[in-house]
């Protein structure tokens, strides 16, 4: 479902129970959940090859620029291989890793666990239909992982570890994938300490220059709701978001951003990024 800032306002006045509108989504704040996760070590190697094999087998770039996942085609053996990879990550202690290896660890864990949840629930139209209690608010607050003996949710990983430990680096939002069309693409290869910086920058360029990230038409700038939900990570204002985008924009978007000073609307598509 594609939802805009205008439909969010309409949704707040509706009496019927329905999926929350894009801008009405309650974005968690960035707050370290445990000082334990702020430590780092010297190890720089994690075996992400099983995740790489899964991505190679089941993720396909679409002609529309959206990477989609063949959730319904995942074999029983590959489901078990994915769960084995997750179990390996959960049994390890990421605080023994260098900062770059840690960041790659958490991004890969978040993305692999999200895919695992969708594969187990498939067929489903949206990740918001998985878990989350009576109203199917999504799995983000469920303790679906146990890393180094500590139960964690997807929100714990993104908003309680990744964002606060890495000083709310806005590129984090381009790396973690929520299995939705509106989300930045699920990367075609695992993040590692060696490719981290280049993949973060490429993910930012790819999303910002895609219409679901930003679009300027008729003097109006319409952006992904990610830039509204987490505006504080992108400069804290419309001007800050636009300045951030200018760092990565190219071609027509770069020209368009030079002519606008505010954001007219935002939108997000929660439909599943399935093939």
Burial of 29 (0-12, 13-18, 19+ CB in 10 A): exposed
Q: Looking at residue 269, what DSSP letter applies?
A: E
This prediction's pTM? 0.91
Boundary (domain end) residue, out of 188, 208, 228: 208
pLDDT digits (tens, 9 = 90+) for 117-159: 999 999 999 999 998 766 668 999 999 999 999 999 999 999 9
Strand pairing of 214-217 and 220-224? antiparallel
pLDDT, tens digit, 9 for 90 and up, residues 212-250: 999 999 999 999 999 999 999 999 999 999 999 999 999
3-state helix, strand, coil in the chain (%, to 5): 45, 10, 40
Same domain, 61 and 194: yes
> Whole domain around residue 73: which residue ranges?
48-208
Q: Could you give the CA distance from residue 270 to residue 21 in angstroms, rounded to a whole number? A: 10
Regarding whether 234 and 111 lie in a shared domain, the answer is no
Query: Does 119 share its domain with 140?
Result: yes
How sure is the predictor about 27, in pLDDT bands with cuts at 50, 70 and 90? confident
Question: What is the pLDDT averaged over residues 174-182?
Answer: 98
């Amino acid at each position: 479902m594609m939802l805009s800032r205008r439909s969010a306002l309409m949704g707040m006045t509706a009496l019927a129970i329905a999926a929350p509108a894009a801008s009405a989504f309650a974005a968690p704040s960035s707050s370290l959940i445990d000082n334990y996760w702020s430590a780092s070590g010297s190890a720089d190697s994690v075996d992400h090859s099983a995740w790489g094999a899964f991505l190679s087998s089941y993720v396909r770039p679409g002609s529309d620029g959206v990477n989609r996942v063949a959730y319904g085609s995942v074999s029983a053996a590959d489901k078990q291989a994915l769960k084995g990879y997750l179990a390996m990550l959960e049994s390890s202690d990421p605080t023994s890793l260098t900062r770059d290896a840690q960041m790659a660890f958490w991004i890969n864990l978040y993305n692999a666990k999200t895919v695992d949840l969708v594969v187990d629930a498939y067929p489903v139209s949206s990740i918001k239909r998985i878990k989350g209690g009576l109203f199917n608010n999504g799995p983000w607050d469920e303790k679906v992982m146990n890393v180094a003996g500590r139960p964690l949710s997807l929100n714990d990983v993104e908003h309680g570890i990744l964002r606060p430990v890495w000083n709310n680096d806005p590129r984090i939002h381009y790396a973690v994938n929520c299995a939705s069309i509106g989300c930045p693409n699920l990367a075609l290869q695992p993040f590692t300490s060696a490719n981290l910086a280049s993949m973060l920058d490429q993910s930012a360029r790819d999303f910002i220059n895609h219409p679901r990230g930003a679009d300027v038409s008729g003097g109006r700038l319409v952006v992904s709701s990610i830039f509204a939900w987490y505006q504080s990570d992108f400069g804290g204002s419309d001007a800050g978001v636009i300045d951030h985008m200018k760092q990565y924009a190219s071609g027509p978007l770069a020209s368009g951003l030079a002519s606008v000073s505010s954001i007219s609307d935002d939108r997000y598509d929660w439909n599943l990024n399935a093939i």
